[in-house]
Amino acid sequence: MRSVLLLFFLAVPVLEVWVLIQVGQVIGGWPTVLLLLAGSLLGAWIVRREGRRAWRNLQGALQSGRMPERELADGAMIVAGGGLLLFPGLVTDVAALLFLLPFTRPLVRRFGARFLARRVDALARTVPGAGSPFGDVPGFPFGEARAPGSGPVIHGEVIREEPGAPGPREGRRGLTEH
């Protein structure tokens, strides 16, 4: 994973410079600079507008008592899109618009959910004795359905402490309450 991130952080600036050179050769230097500036201004306006909308939707979901899954994902994508706008270049501006525009965000959200589910599922399979964390969710498209309670059994002991009574460590070490 680290090598992929390293490659990404090395390749993106090179790609940005190459695209800027190509666009500059086609439309000229000053129009390319104006295009970058216009993209930044438009992106900042979209971030403000969509950020406010996402905040209102999040508040509405919380007030209605439902889990704000979509609203939280939209908020995260708006923050990510705003972060991508901070990098100068056309490639990151296009990627930011995919995160920011209301008609492209559902596609990115769906792709991101599938990617994360596969990643978590693959990581869970590396733990000995653990199955897919999504196996307990009926109909989840990335895991195998299991009957509830058919997972591994973890034996343990429940220790209940009375309020105000010294805990097991306090009694052994001779600590007192002040």
90-117 pLDDT, tens per residue? Answer: 999 999 999 999 999 999 999 988 988 8
CA 74 to chain centre: 10
Scan for tokens 């905040």, then name that residue. Answer: 55
Q: How many domains does the chain have?
A: 1
pLDDT tens-digit profile of 141-178?
444 445 556 667 778 887 878 777 665 555 444 444 44
Please tell me the pTM assigned to this model.
0.64
103, 50 Cβ separation under 8 angstroms:
no
Cα–Cα distance, 55 to 29 (Å, whole number): 39
Residues in the chain: 178
167 falls within a domain: no
- Report yes or no on 144 lying in a domain: no
Separation of first and last alpha carbons in the chain: 51
Confidence check: pLDDT of 9 > 50: yes
The pLDDT value recorded for residue 145 is 47
The confidence score (pLDDT) of residue 119 equals: 86
For residue 125, being part of any structural domain is answered with: no
* Mean pLDDT within 34-60: 91
* Within-domain flag for 115: no
Contact 99, 78 (CB under 8 A): yes
Please say if the pLDDT value at position 73 is more than 80.
yes
Structural domain containing residue 39? 8-102
- Find the range with the poorest average confidence among 33-47, 60-74, 120-134: 120-134
Please check whether residue 142 lies inside any domain of the structure. Answer: no
Has residue 28 been placed in a domain? yes
